[in-house]
Amino acid sequence: MVFGSHRVYKGVGNAQPEQINEIHRLHLVGKWPQRRIARHLHIGRHTLAKYLDTPAPPPSRRDRTSKLDVFKPAIAELLQQDPKAPAQVLFQRLQTLGYDGGITILKDYLQAVRKDAVLRRAYVRMEPSPGERFDIDWGHFGVRSYNGTPGKLYAFCLVECHSRKMYLEFTHSQSFETFVRCHMHAFQILGGCARELWFDNLATAVAEHEGNDDWHNTSQACRTDKPPV
């Protein structure tokens, strides 16, 4: 198979990507033997073998500058003042600073910036101070048989969020009275109560929902005089 036209590269010790691509084209598509390619392109067979083992590098891309680049610090400052500012408002503010670009690239940039901010917030690690917060939840361990009588088994779990110390108590009931008693046992073991108690939507802790607000069960109260050690 013979191609209509070929370029001849003399002295391709440092071949350009298009030259290397031509070598690969003749070898893989044209099925030319290496000796014929070397003779056709006037290169040595050792050089040819080197380029056959190494594909051509992709062309380097130059970073494109945007009219928006010099105004990005100003955009960051404006978003700090009003994170939800619409693109049209920011566009008008930037025009007073000398921006003469379009609003479309501004909208694209705002979308990327806000998406990145949301992702960062989603993975913010919370590090409560000692004694600041307890996380509380129930665990469910199915039905167990006790002397031939089936009964449900639960676990009250309380975690001190700074040290990750855990208090675990197994019970046969999730009643509010049992819930309070488990709290008191945990406070005694850990040496006090945290400033905040966080419940994961527990029926024994949340009496009812109204919109986005939870009304907590306050039929019983617990009080301790010192934070946990």
pLDDT in tens, 25-79: 887 777 888 888 888 888 887 887 887 776 656 655 665 678 888 899 999 888 8
Q: Tokens representing 221?
A: 């109260």
Report d(CA 125, CA 104) in Å as an integer: 34
Closest CA to 115 of 67, 83, 71: 83
Q: Which residue has the higher pLDDT, 121 or 226?
A: 121
* pLDDT in the model for residue 221: 41
pLDDT tens-place string over residues 128-142: 889 899 999 998 888
* pLDDT in the model for residue 14: 59
| Residue reference for tokens 């009003």 | 82
* pLDDT in the model for residue 224: 38
Distant-in-sequence, close-in-space partners of 190: CB < 8 Å, separation ≥ 6: 158, 160, 165, 167, 228, 229
pTM exceeding the 0.75 threshold for the entire prediction: no
Tally of CB atoms within 10 A around 30: 16
For 38-52, 53-67, 96-110, 148-162, which range has the lowest pLDDT when averaged over its residues? 53-67
